[in-house]
Amino acid sequence: MNATLTSTDLRADILALKKERNAVILAHNYQNAEIQEIADYVGDSLGLSFRAQETEADVIAFCGVHFMAETAKIINPEKTVVLPDANAGCSLEDSCPAEDLGAFLKENAEKNYYVVTYINSSAAVKALSDVICTSGNAVRIVEAAPTDRPILFVPDQNLGSWVSQQTGREMEFWNGNCYVHVEFTRESIQKIKDEYPDAAVVAHPECTTAVRLLADEVCSTERMIDFCRNSPSENIIVVTEANMLHRLRRDVPGKNLIAGPTDRCACAECRYMKMNTLEKLYLCLRDLSPAVELDDAMREAAKAPIMRMLELSK
């Protein structure tokens, strides 16, 4: 590619390639502004899974992290699913290697766990699970879980503890977390609340309990849009990854959306989400690479708990 291409050229080239490939561009709410602006759909993990299921495109260019593109491929084995950077991982996915989960389930076979797995996990972990959930439907998924089996919630202990509080269901948690959301502290949020005493606080459930206790609303990234739109507060502190502010400021103009500690702390940017660039998006559409490839048996095993989730979320 010509190294002097401007971002206007790149955008035009991406749109031309998209047409040529009959592709759809799906982007997570944490993608940078340029990618959000060129995407056909921007949303949370649940919305993106539904879009991936519904699309009639031949190619899905997934701008998010690897497990999201992998989920789209599991649902759509016949489609080509590409992602701008194959190294865009997730600390939650890393915290639960499939071998470790498999060994734990084997050692505790007599417990007959009902394994509820957060979508931020590998296909191999999904294949060992009974049902998948996202932050947008986790409460509903756990409410529908059988009551005669103990629940093992994998891999996010913070989302798990929030769901347990919301549903009253006791469960065991895998010891994983999101390295971005656990960086927020009660003190750092309180400091901003002191500056804006009338501000409402909305936080992602991947935050720690101490932070969630300060929030007026705890929800998925997509539901943050409705919360900010409907909140009577003019000032709203948003406790999640920094790029969410782009989506929120576009969809909810007229409110003072405060990036919370993200203004003061670069750690609130997900380094994996940031790996995607317009240039890499162009290249993955041009080369149809990197593409997600999965072993058939694993894909089938991972598909069942995802389809259970989608059925339970309609």
Q: x-or-dash pattern for ligand SF4, window 241-280, by CB under 6 A? A: x----------------------------x-xx-------
Nearer to ligand SF4, 94 or 288 (CB): 94
Question: What angle, 0 to 180 degrees and rounded to 10, lies between the N-to-C axes of helices 278-287 and 7-21?
Answer: 30
Per CB under 6 A, contacts with ligand SF4 among 283-302 are none
Which position has the token pair 């660039």? 277
Amino acid found at 60: I
**One residue of 31, 71, 91, 117 binding ligand SF4 per CB under 6 A:** 91
Q: Which residues pair with 202 in a beta bridge?
A: 217, 238
Binding of ligand 13P by 120 (CB under 6 A): yes
**One residue of 80, 120, 134, 243 binding ligand SF4 per CB under 6 A:** 120
Categorise residue 195: left if φ over 0, alpha if ψ from -120 to 50, beta otherwise.
alpha
Answer for the pair 72, 52: CB distance below 8 angstroms, yes or no: yes
**One residue of 71, 117, 134, 177 binding ligand 13P per CB under 6 A:** 134
Residue 237 beta carbon to ligand 13P: minimum distance, rounded to whole angstroms? 17
User: Running DSSP on this structure, what letter comes out for residue 176?
Assistant: B
Q: Both ends of the chain: CA-CA distance in Å?
A: 43
Binding of ligand 13P by 36 (CB under 6 A): no
**Residue 168, CA distances (Å) to 123, 151, 285 in order:** 29, 12, 46
Contact set with ligand 13P (CB under 6 A):
29, 44-45, 120, 134-136, 178, 204, 206, 220-221
Contact set with ligand SF4 (CB under 6 A):
65, 90-92, 120, 178-180, 206, 241, 270, 272-273
